Structure 1
Amino acid sequence: MIAVAGDCALLPLNLHHMSHQIVLLRRKHALTQYDLADLIGVSQSTIGRLEDDPSYAQRLRLDAVLALQVIYGKLPGKLFPHLYEEVEDAVMRRVAALDRKLDGQTGSTAEHRRALLSQIAQNISSRTKLV
């Protein structure tokens, strides 16, 4: 059975940090919202919404998130830590659910699945220790 930590309380500070991170990086490089939008391939209003409402990051297209990584050299988990934590928590809940489904199953397929679930839990656990 895979051990899953309880849901973590996410502080409003994380939300502020996420949008603040984008603003700080944009200003550090003397970019306007229009400049950053052009580099990413989105509208200026998208950048404005992202900076004003951190939850808007959930609506960004994958190519826009990857463009931010290319531009700033930071992994999406560092650019959007609150969203990353939410995704991690959701994945761990799904890992636990699949692990329960596998309970009592035998055979190589079940073992391969359990190995992956253990690896996912280990990846999340080791990342959490570094933060």
Structure 2
Amino acid sequence: MTPAQLLSRLGRSMLQYVAETDPWVPDEEESKKVHLLALAQRQRQDVDRLVELIFRRREIPDFGYYPVDYTDLQYLALNTVFPRLIRDQHELLGAVEATNAALGSVSDGRPVLLEILSNESRILDELREIANHDASLGDS
């Protein structure tokens, strides 16, 4: 996968889509939504880093479109989308790793991709924490 291909994947991730569709949460769980929106903002910073890399490589960024299957995520409660968000974020990490490997060890893009990989990994961990917190509340 090239950085340009990764841009479409990262910029049109499920996290970005869910953040844009304003998922429903009960009032007492508004902090989860705020946390999710913060994660989406951090991911947008990774998109910005990738766009800068693409420009440095004298390429034109193409953000592409959201996958059609995301449209069934509209008007859902946030708690119901966490399993899919986590799965998508895990797949996204694989795409970042593949792009990093494809660039090789001497590429000027490697530091950018390693930074993105680190941030996206932290986002995945935080998504899991939010989801696990929900699961532990259900067990009480």
Tell which has more relative contact order, 1 or 2 (C-alpha 8 A, sep 6+): 2
Q: TM-score range by the shorter chain?
A: 0.3 to 0.5
Normalised by the length of structure 1, the TM-score is 0.35
Bigger radius of gyration among the two: 1
Normalised by the length of structure 2, the TM-score is 0.33
